[in-house]
Structure 1
Amino acid sequence: MKKTFPIHGIFGIVLLLLSQLLLFKKVDPFYSWFYCFAWWSYILIIDAVIYRLKGNSLLLNRTGEFFLMIPWSIFLWLIFEAANLSLENWYYINLPKSTVERWVGYAVAYATVLPGMFETTELLETAGLFKNLKIKKMIISGGGHFVLILLGTFCLVVSMLIPEYFFPLIWVGFIFLLEPFIYRFGGKSLLKDLEEGNLKKIFFLLLAGLICGILWEFWNFWALSKWVYTVPFFEEGKGFEMPVPGFLGFPPFAIEVYVMYNFISLFRFGRGWEESTYGLHPDKKTRPLAIVLTAILIGSFYILIFKAIDIKTVDSYFPRLQDAYWIELQHRMELPKVGMNTIEDLLFKTVEKKDKEELALRLLIPKEILVQWVEKAQLVQLKGLGIKNLQLLERVGIHSISALATEDPEELYIKIGQSAQKETPSRKAKIRIWVREAKKQVRREG
């Protein structure tokens, strides 16, 4: 039975449109936090559409499960962030310098993974897709389950030990490892679906994964704080920031997080987010001590991995005018008086030659000095290069995008490594990205 479109859906639509508008106007917090605003808007909209279509939705009718899903979403994604410490398949740029703001950003962003994926899955199911999708019943023996567990273990271990060649296996390993246990202990099992010849849930998840993957990459592409990929063998030919073959990883990832969440549900007496499992065993309650211990363990894991992300995965903070060490302090203090409060203002208001001349006169500095300021400001913002990496480049004599564009990435990597003091030198993949982006910009400016 169709219901009235809920108000939280209207709020989501307004928030998404407003976020998009203020992103392009570079108005904070929408400029810095666009990805989070976009995803939470999407979740609200999709949930409202589901409620409108069938009168039952995750947020309105399974509210407790919706909010319980949020900390588990953070937890599950942090498992993959932990894996990325070895894989090194992505890194973050232009993040806030404040630890509190950055960690809140991690939590708010990672909290969208499960709600976004599962709301999309439920919408596809509600739309009635794949109604007649059936296959011959597939019975997997106990021995087959053991083989799946071994296969899952192999996928996870080899992806960590030899990530350059086996990194894709991280996106399927937990499926094979955990699904036999879910089946064995009576949880919501995809193996059970296969036994019944029912492929609908698998196809819903695969399609939901692809849809969410496209949205992840689309919204990440426009965001200020974002991730950049350094996937081996696939640095060229990207859709947004993702190498095109990488989109093939999103469908199995949807199945993987579904399986992981169903595995967690085993410890909650089988209760889950779907209508068929939400109300299971209402008489059985989790002991308060178990809840407290779980919260402590999960919270500790959050802190541990957040800290590891800060150390290993965050490559740059968003450069502020006060961080522009190449501009003398007295001039940094004068720039806001002439309407330049950010590095972006400096770049935007010195595009034309006459603009540079006028600003140089107002600040009583040679025009050549101002040009150097602008060149370094352009370089520090190139693909989120950031202050720390700018300093590394300056040590090897690179002070502008045009100079960076002439470099050979392999040779530059060696030079940076030789000049690095106590810092860990940048990875080759990052340097290739910098040089490639510099070449693109030089070509655009022609």
Structure 2
Amino acid sequence: MTISRKILYLLLAMAALLFLPWLGGYFFYNGEFPADFYAYPPLKPISKPGFNLPIFAFVAIVCLGITAIYIMPKWFGFKKTIIENTRNIPRVKLPIWFWFGLICWAISLTFLALHLKQPAWFIHWSDVPLFWGAVLVLDGIVYKRTGGKSLVAIIPQELIGIGIASMTGWMIFEFMNFFVDDNWYYPWGNILDREEFLLYAFIISSGLLPLAFEWYLLFLTFPKLANRFRNGVKIVLSNGLKNGILIISLASMFAAGLFPNYLFFVLWVSPPVVLGIVLNKIGIWTPFDPIAKGNWAPVLLSALTYLVAGFTLEGQNYLSAIHDGQTALFTNDPAYWQYSIPFVNVAHIFEMPVLGYFGYLPFGVYCWVWWIACATLLNIPAKFLKENPLDI
């Protein structure tokens, strides 16, 4: 396959993530979106169907099944992998960027958690040092546990590239959020002008995807976790089945815009599947590929990254506001978010409904395949085109 054709297929796949939900929404609104439909940031929740016990129970059963894969992998055909610890890891100190990141993260979180009002310029933009401070802290821990190997130490240019790709990778979700009637919104987003908030959103989102990669590398430093899912069921999909899954995934993204209250979750599940299949078809490695050899570790661990990262982000988000019970009364953080999710919007941990955390699992995989897609388009020799980019 020629390079130009590979680029074309990737661009079409990326365009589909934007166009198909828009097309579904176009039909949903009979060709005329409401006047404030694209207002960003969304400041208020849109009315949604209330709690539904049968739907909640069904989703909960699915989530329990997913949880069981991580807790009891042998139930799903995973065999125990013998771990031979023959490596002598050099003892190194925590690097200087760990301490710099810790200071940035701690100061930002302190200002937000104490709900300070001054200096306003710092508080309003504090998510930048908060997110990137966490990235540097995680990288420093990886550096120490591997004896001197980390993204900052070995391939800082790739970490920067992931950060740049993160801005478009996340803003796609902000765009898709319009077509599921704003599942999340920013009730204090009007602290900033809309133009400034848009710039702010681009900049702070640069720290979102790097968190996934840092957590993944940290997971690899724990041999039992890193090897827990390497010896599982081998699944090889035929081209016909891949095509079928791709068509269903694309159709579901269109349907999500058409039925936003019932298929809103599709916008988390389908993007990594669409990108993963298209990348596979043009001959580019993805974390899905090792499944053919029974190695599920790249997919399951990359999914786990944002279950952990998402939980910490939700905690930081919750601390940044003053609450009366579950009601947020005040915050100085313009990016403070809340959720408006149909049917299952109960049993919150922080602002997120408990079942909503499982949406972070496909997003973790999306982070990896999005970076692979961007690196392929730009002909970047990315190290993350294999399971263990640092040979930990």
Which category of TM-score, normalised to the shorter sequence, fits these structures? Answer: 0.5 to 0.7
Deviation per CA, 1:36-58, whole angstroms, max 9, x where unpaired?
33221110100111112222211
- Is contact 2:276-2:288 (8 Å) kept? yes
1:131 equivalent in structure 2: 227
Are 1:3 and 2:92 an aligned pair?
yes
1:81 equivalent in structure 2: 174
Cα distance, 1:265 vs. partner? Answer: 2.7
- Is contact 1:182-1:266 (8 Å) kept? no
Amino acid at match of 1:66: L
- Is contact 1:156-1:173 (8 Å) kept? yes
- Is contact 1:90-1:228 (8 Å) kept? yes
Question: Following the alignment from structure 1 to structure 2, what is the Cα–Cα distance between the partners of residues 247 and 188?
Answer: 28
Counterparts in 2 of 1:268 and 1:277: CA distance versus 1, 3 Å: farther
**What is the aligned-residue RMSD (CA, Å)?**
2.2
Aligned with 2:107 (options 12, 15, 18): 18
**Is the partner of 1:38 in helix, strand or coil?**
helix
Cα distance, 1:124 vs. partner? Answer: 0.7
Aligned with 1:227 (options 327, 330, 337): 337
Alignment of 1:340-419 (within 5 A): none
**Is the partner of 1:190 in helix, strand or coil?**
coil
Counterparts in 2 of 1:123 and 1:213: CA distance versus 1, 3 Å: same
2:357 equivalent in structure 1: 247
Amino acid at match of 2:100: F
Cα distance, 1:218 vs. partner? Answer: 0.9
Aligned with 2:125 (options 33, 41, 44): 33
1:57 equivalent in structure 2: 150
Aligned with 1:173 (options 270, 274, 279): 270
Question: Which fold has the larger relative contact order, with Cα–Cα distance below 8 Å and residues 6 or more apart in sequence?
Answer: 2
Amino acid at match of 1:68: G
**TM-score, structure 2 normalization:** 0.66
Are 1:108 and 2:203 an aligned pair?
yes
**Is the partner of 2:226 in helix, strand or coil?**
coil
Counterparts in 2 of 1:278 and 1:196: CA distance versus 1, 3 Å: closer
Question: Following the alignment from structure 2 to structure 1, what is the Cα–Cα distance between the partners of residues 115 and 278?
Answer: 50
Question: Following the alignment from structure 2 to structure 1, what is the Cα–Cα distance between the partners of residues 273 and 338?
Answer: 29
Deviation per CA, 1:267-312, whole angstroms, max 9, x where unpaired?
2447325385999xxxxxxxxxxxxxxxxxxxxxxxxxxxxxxxxx
Counterparts in 2 of 1:30 and 1:177: CA distance versus 1, 3 Å: same
Are 1:90 and 2:184 an aligned pair?
yes
Q: Which moved more, 1:227-236 or 1:143-152?
A: 227-236
Counterparts in 2 of 1:234 and 1:52: CA distance versus 1, 3 Å: same
Amino acid at match of 1:111: S
Amino acid at match of 1:272: A
**Is the partner of 1:203 in helix, strand or coil?**
helix
1:210 equivalent in structure 2: 307
Question: Following the alignment from structure 2 to structure 1, what is the Cα–Cα distance between the partners of residues 115 and 355?
Answer: 33
Cα distance, 1:64 vs. partner? Answer: 1.3
- Is contact 2:306-2:364 (8 Å) kept? yes
**Is the partner of 1:149 in helix, strand or coil?**
helix
**Structure whose residues are more often helix by fraction:** 1
2:161 equivalent in structure 1: 68
Counterparts in 2 of 1:270 and 1:37: CA distance versus 1, 3 Å: closer
- Is contact 2:151-2:159 (8 Å) kept? yes
Question: Following the alignment from structure 1 to structure 2, what is the Cα–Cα distance between the partners of residues 239 and 277?
Answer: 32
The aligned length equals 279
Larger radius of gyration: 1
Cα distance, 1:60 vs. partner? Answer: 2.5
Q: Which moved more, 1:127-136 or 1:213-222?
A: 127-136
Amino acid at match of 1:178: L
- Is contact 2:286-2:386 (8 Å) kept? no
Question: Following the alignment from structure 2 to structure 1, what is the Cα–Cα distance between the partners of residues 246 and 252?
Answer: 10
Task: Show structure 1 runs of 5+ residues with no match.
Answer: 280-446
Counterparts in 2 of 1:205 and 1:277: CA distance versus 1, 3 Å: closer
Task: Show structure 2 runs of 5+ residues with no match.
Answer: 1-89, 321-332
Are 1:193 and 2:304 an aligned pair?
no
Amino acid at match of 1:49: I
